[in-house]
């Protein structure tokens, strides 16, 4: 269970980081996620909907945002590549002597919609999280 939580945390951090891309509108985002993997704990909900508020400052610099998220999760600096409206990345995290490798892509379809797919590999097991995110409006606590 601890392993699944760590993989999930790393994956969600990467998704949250990329919702901050400068190509996207700041505000409240609804992120619908589907998880697939060999070692999902029994009873774990494979489909989740999350909400996240992104400030204008967070949305300014994709590289800086990704580096900060990586550091918070004991990961090295991600290697990123941008091709048009799609960003790809890889990063490696170390936790309790285990190495977790993450790779993903995020496509900004427009300023208010993106999709992503992130795959993590740890101890020979993979977890893939697919997300479809939609901007829902300004955050309640922002003017």
Model pLDDT for residues 5-21, shown as the tens digit of each residue: 444 444 444 444 444 34
- pLDDT value at 4 more than 90: no
- Give the pLDDT score at 112: 92
Cβ distance 15 to 33 under 8 Å? yes
Question: Among 18, 28, 38, which Cα is nearest to 115's?
Answer: 18
Instruction: Give residue-wise pLDDT tens across range 74-117.
Output: 788 888 888 888 888 899 988 788 888 999 998 889 889 999 99
Residues near 97 by beta carbon (within 8 Å), at least 6 away in sequence: none
Quick check: 114 and 106 in contact, CB under 8 A? yes
Contact 13, 73 (CB under 8 A): yes
pLDDT in the model for residue 51:
95
Contact, 73 vs 100, CB < 8 A? no
- One-letter-per-residue 3-state SS of 1-50: CHHHHHHHHHHHHHHHHHCCCCCCCCEEEEEEEEEEECCCCCCCCCEEEE
């Amino acid at each position: 269970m601890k392993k699944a939580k760590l993989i999930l945390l790393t994956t969600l951090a990467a998704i949250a980081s990329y919702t901050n891309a400068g190509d996207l509108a700041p505000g409240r985002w609804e992120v619908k996620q589907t998880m697939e993997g060999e070692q999902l704990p029994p009873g774990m909900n494979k489909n989740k909907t999350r909400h996240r508020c992104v400030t204008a400052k967070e949305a300014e610099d994709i590289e800086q945002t990704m580096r900060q998220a990586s550091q918070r999760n004991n990961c090295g600096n991600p290697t990123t590549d941008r091709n048009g409206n799609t960003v790809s990345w890889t990063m490696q995290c170390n936790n309790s002597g285990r190495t977790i490798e993450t790779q993903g892509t995020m496509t900004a379809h427009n300023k208010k919609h993106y999709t992503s797919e992130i795959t993590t590999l740890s101890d020979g097991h993979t977890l893939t999280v697919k997300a479809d995110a939609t901007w829902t409006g300004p955050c309640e606590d922002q003017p």
